[in-house]
């Protein structure tokens, strides 16, 4: 059993935060699904496009879903960076970590650098 380390604590904390973010994303997806089903029913029942849209909060739901997806991507990257730091502290090679994730060694190497700028999230807002 490995002893508690600062790196391990960070991984645990960030993973917990990511799990909450996953729950938030799931809720936003369920809300979007419900709206989509409602929209479909309204159209099937003969409602005009304007009537169908006016009964839904499409703009707010789109913004919420995009915001939650962006938060998930930030949380995922935060966990990944903390896992890399933990792996380095435990002597795991960057190449081995890359193989465990199925990503390039170059990506893990870049993320392991302390001066590596925080990656921007590229999720479309439209």
Q: Give per-residue pLDDT as tens, 6-17.
A: 999 999 999 999
pLDDT confidence of residue 2:
67
**Alpha carbons 31 and 89: distance in angstroms, whole number:** 41
**Averaged pLDDT score across all residues of the chain:** 88
**Alpha carbons 9 and 121: distance in angstroms, whole number:** 25
123 Cβ contact partners less than 8 Å away, ≥ 6 residues apart: 66, 69, 70, 73
Maximum distance among all Cα pairs of the chain, rounded to whole angstroms? 64
- Give which of 23, 55, 14 is closest to 36, Cα–Cα: 55
Mean pLDDT for 111-125 is 57
């Amino acid at each position: 059993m490995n002893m508690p380390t600062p790196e391990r604590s960070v991984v645990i904390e960030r993973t917990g935060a990511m799990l909450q973010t996953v729950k938030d994303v799931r809720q936003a997806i369920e809300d979007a699904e419900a709206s989509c089903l409602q929209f479909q029913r309204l159209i099937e029942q003969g409602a005009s496009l304007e009537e169908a849209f006016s009964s839904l909060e499409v703009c707010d739901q789109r913004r919420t879903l995009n915001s939650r997806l962006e938060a998930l991507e930030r949380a995922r990257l935060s966990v990944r960076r903390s896992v890399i730091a933990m792996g380095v502290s435990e002597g795991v090679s960057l190449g081995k970590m890359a193989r465990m994730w199925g990503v390039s060694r170059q990506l893990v190497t870049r993320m392991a650098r302390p001066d590596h700028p925080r990656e921007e999230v590229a999720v479309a807002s439209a």
